[in-house]
Amino acid sequence: MTETTDPGRLGPEHRELLGQVLDKWSLEVLDRLCERPRRFNELRRAIPAVTQKSLTATLRRLERNGMVEREIVSTRPVGVEYRMTPLGKTLQGLIDALLEWSATRLPEVNRARDRFDDAEREAEQGSVSR
């Protein structure tokens, strides 16, 4: 290592970017849109827990960051379709990996949480704080 100059160094811009892309609903929205383009209410139904307001905000943010595209479809009641941009598609592998990781590791994490919470409760009863 010829002087790695501290490789972990990330600027605030990177934190912000990842924050916008990885927030509460973005992952699921992106995951859905990776499958195929979707309309607004289609997305809502696909992600029942999201509110209309949050979904709108999420989509706007993703659109602003160049991850998704919005197209107005001149059908009868008028529809709006969202689809991944080429830039957004560069995320697909990462998204898949994240979702898969969370799916496979959740049991272990739950056990870890139980252990932690138990130890904490003990500590409260006994005298050992932190």
Binding test (CB under 7 A) with DNA, winner from 27, 50, 91, 95:
50
Is 29 or 95 the residue whose CB approaches DNA more closely? 29
The most distant pair of C-alpha atoms in the chain lies apart, rounded to whole Å, by 69
* 79 neighbors 38 (Cβ within 8 angstroms): no
Helix, strand or coil, per DSSP, at residue 91: coil
Is 23 or 28 the residue whose CB approaches DNA more closely? 23
- Which stretches of 36-91 are DSSP H helices? 40-46, 52-64, 86-89
Q: Which helix (H) or strand (E) holds 83?
A: strand 79-84
Interaction of residue 101 with a copy of itself, rule CB under 8 A: yes
* 60 neighbors 79 (Cβ within 8 angstroms): no
- Sites of contact with a copy of itself (CB under 8 A): 6-8, 10, 12-15, 17-19, 22, 24, 27-28, 31-32, 34-35, 46, 49, 63-66, 87, 90-91, 93-94, 97-99, 101-103, 105-106, 108-109, 111-113, 115-117
- Sites of contact with DNA (CB under 7 A): 23-24, 39-42, 49-54, 56-57, 59-60, 70, 77-82, 130
